[in-house]
Amino acid sequence: EDGDTLLSVDSIDTHYGESHILFDLSLSIDRGDIVALVGRNGAGKTTTLRSIMGLTPVTNGEITKGGEQIHRREPHEIRNRGISWIPEERRVFTGLTVEENLRLAAHSGDGAQADRFEEIYRRFPRLDERRGQDAGTLSGGEQQMLAIARALLGPETDLLLLDEPSEGLAPQIVDDVAAIIRELNEEGVTILLVEQNAEMALELADYAYVLETGAIVHESPAAELATDREAMESYLGVK
Ligand code: ATP
């Protein structure tokens, strides 16, 4: 491990009741990287994110951020340490406007967020144009943007956990979302990207892990996995 490790998941196990879901899972995320976690349905990708976020307890092993143990902390304490999670369901409030959604997210932060609002609107001009629009009437891509924007408000974020940001989006919208992820990363946000769309994830990522029934079965630079046809087919069913 070098000094650049931002998050380290070290030999964790996770259970839901009697079911053992994650087995001796380790992964490491360097500061500034985009790391992809790919794998088939039910492999345990979401559970890994929930474990990092403190939502599903780990029964063994440890998770550290910047060297500090976080795996026994409450989700809000983990959030206060710069980790933000965007669940698969995106969690925008339909029935509230874009602006109201952002205000609610900012409210949980440290106050004095007005500047950050403008920063968010500069970064997401599509949201700026739609400040007064009901979030329920946004397109899937716009809702994903709003979810990302919400995740960036509140406590300062240096690690973003994204769960299937491409899900349900048309291909050209997936490209838009990919561009946003790349831009955020260029601005210094480290990203753990969970995807079933392995092609999209591996194109964005520096490093990749493949999860299969709760265990890591492959890790390598993302480009190496993307060009390994045998691995792509056997782990991910991509021909
Ligand atoms: P998907 O892409 O389908 O969401 P995933 O890789 O994210 O899959 P998880 O959602 O982490 O997988 O699920 C891993 C396993 O844990 C699955 O077998 C799932 O049925 C099981 N599981 C998930 N949540 C619970 C729960 N609350 N209680 C019991 N089992 C669960």
Q: How far apart are CA 173 and CA 177, in angstroms?
A: 6
Work out whether the CA dihedral 120, 121, 127, 130 comes out positive or negative: positive
Q: Hey, is 20 helix, strand or coil?
A: strand
Confidence label for 110 from pLDDT (cuts 50, 70 and 90): low
In order, the DSSP letters of 116-171 are HHHHHHHH-HHHHHTTTSBGGGS-HHHHHHHHHHHHHSSS--SEEEEE-TTTT--H
By alpha-carbon position, which residue is closest to atom 11 of ligand 1? 44
Note the pLDDT tens digit of each residue in 137-192: 998 888 989 999 998 888 889 999 999 999 888 888 899 899 999 999 999 999 99
By alpha-carbon position, which residue is closest to atom 28 of ligand 1? 16
pLDDT at 1: 45
Rounded to whole angstroms, what are the CA distances from 44 to 2, 56, 57, 209, 215? 27, 12, 14, 12, 8
Type of residue numbered 194: V
Ligand 1 pocket (Cβ < 6 Å) reads 16, 19, 21, 39, 41-47, 196
In a mutational test of the pocket of ligand 1, which residue from 19, 85, 236 has the highest number of ligand atoms less than 8 Å from its CB? 19
**Look-up of token digits 């056997």:** 234
pLDDT at 74: 96
ipTM of this predicted complex?
Answer: 0.92
In a mutational test of the pocket of ligand 1, which residue from 23, 25, 46 has the highest number of ligand atoms less than 8 Å from its CB? 46
By alpha-carbon position, which residue is closest to atom 8 of ligand 1? 42
pLDDT at 119: 85
User: Whole-prediction pTM value?
Assistant: 0.92
Looking at every residue in the chain, the average pLDDT score rounds to 91
By alpha-carbon position, which residue is closest to atom 17 of ligand 1? 42
**Distance from the alpha carbon of residue 42 to the mean position of ligand 1, in angstroms:** 5
Confidence label for 236 from pLDDT (cuts 50, 70 and 90): confident
pLDDT at 118: 85
Contact present, 150 and 92 (Cβ < 8 Å)? yes
